[in-house]
């Protein structure tokens, strides 16, 4: 669960960076931010989905 939250925070920071660099017209950084959002966003969503809707969270 903690890993999903950490990767979600990374995704949120990448979204902020995406908008900031898009405003500065730094498209190289926009590309890297978009890749970061895609990878970490997908990983965080699937991790949280696994924890909440399947038994992927481990046994307590």
pLDDT in tens, 26-40: 999 999 999 999 999
Task: Report the percent of the chain where pLDDT is more than 90.
Answer: 70
Question: How much is the pTM?
Answer: 0.83
Pairwise CA distance, residues 7 & 23, whole Å? 24
Report pLDDT for 32.
Answer: 97
Tokens of 18: 């995406």
Give me the residue label for tokens 């949120």.
12
Residue 43 has pLDDT above 60, yes or no: yes
Q: How wide is the angle at C-alpha 45 spanned by C-alphas 40 and 48, nearest 5°? A: 120
């Amino acid at each position: 669960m903690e890993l999903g939250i950490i990767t979600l925070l990374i995704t949120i920071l990448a979204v902020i960076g995406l908008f900031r660099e898009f405003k500065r017209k730094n498209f190289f950084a926009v590309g890297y931010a978009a890749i970061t959002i895609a990878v970490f966003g997908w990983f965080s969503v699937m991790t949280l989905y696994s924890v909440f809707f399947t038994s992927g969270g481990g046994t307590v």
